[in-house]
Amino acid sequence: MNEVYSYDEVTSTNDLAKKMVDILKNGDIVWALSQTAGKGKGERHWHSPRGGLWFSIVYKPQKLCEDPNIYTKMASVAVIKVLKRLKVKGVGVKWPNDIYCGRKKLGGILTEIFTKAHNHAVIIGIGINVNNKPPEDVKDAISLFEITNVKLSLSQLLNMISSEAQRLYNLITSGKRNVITNLWRNAMVIKKGHKIKVSDFSGKTYDATVVKVLSDSLIVEKDGIKERIHPSEISLS
């Protein structure tokens, strides 16, 4: 049975998991009711008040997967599967690590690979707006309560997601990584044929059409020219 280490408030569950890595076993969880320094992609601050679900799962594989992004994909699939089980409509992954409902951001995943004395730990931080009200200055954010008008049990949701994540993690360790990739691709809100906005290095944006979804990038087309782009360059059109 995996242990859940629960706290009232921490800086971030990922940071605490790193400090606790020696005592944590494979599949153990660090959960906090609030975070004072939650992090998103690119070290962006993640608003993490009470009412949201903020936790990290720690895995200790004997050997790291060749594609480290597979752990983020696994966690995002686990979240989407559980939300669909709860009859939350319109949920999907905004490539590669954001959880969306329609065009609103519901949550995110931050995976960190931690190595200490030749031992590896994969720390997957998951943050979901559940019963909390997202900050007003984040225009595209939404919570599960705003979608369903139902207050969910955080502990029940935590258990459901961590159980699903463990099942999917077992697929990775048994060599079925392609199953995770296919599930992740099917869960994405951005698919072949979709219109997206692309930001180039100068900050300019342009509209493009998705031609192909790859495991680590997208192939898009603009004015008959195809190019490969990366996650930080896109937004929903």
Enter the tokens of residue 138: 């984040």
**Can you count the helices (H) and strands (E) in the chain?**
5, 12
pLDDT in tens, 20-31: 999 999 999 999
Confidence of residue 117 (pLDDT cuts 50, 70, 90): confident
Over residues 61-116, the pLDDT tens digits come to 988 888 888 999 999 999 999 999 999 999 999 876 899 998 899 999 999 998 87
Reported as half-sphere exposure (CB side, CA atoms, 13 A), residue 100 has a value of 17
**pLDDT tens digits along 71-81:** 999 999 999 99
pLDDT band at 237 (very low <50, low <70, confident <90, very high): low
Whether the Cβ atoms of residue 161 and residue 192 lie closer than 8 Å to each other? no
Mention every residue, 6+ apart, whose C-beta is less than 8 A from residue 30.
5, 7, 10, 13, 16, 17, 20, 24, 55, 56, 58
Stretch 220-232: mean pLDDT, rounded?
Answer: 85
Q: Cα 44–45–48 angle (5° rounding)?
A: 140
Going from the C-alpha of 164 to that of each of 77, 81, 167, 226, the distances in angstroms are: 9, 8, 5, 37
Q: Which amino acid is at 137?
A: D
Contact between 5 and 20 (Cβ < 8 Å): yes
pTM, two decimals, is 0.90
Banded pLDDT at 191 (limits 50, 70, 90): confident
Class of domain 4-187: alpha beta
Do 29 and 58 form a contact (C-beta atoms < 8 A)?
A: yes
Convert 175-203 to b/e letters by CB count within 10 Å (16 or more is b). Answer: eebeebbebbbebbbbeeebebebeeeee
pLDDT for 41 equals: 62
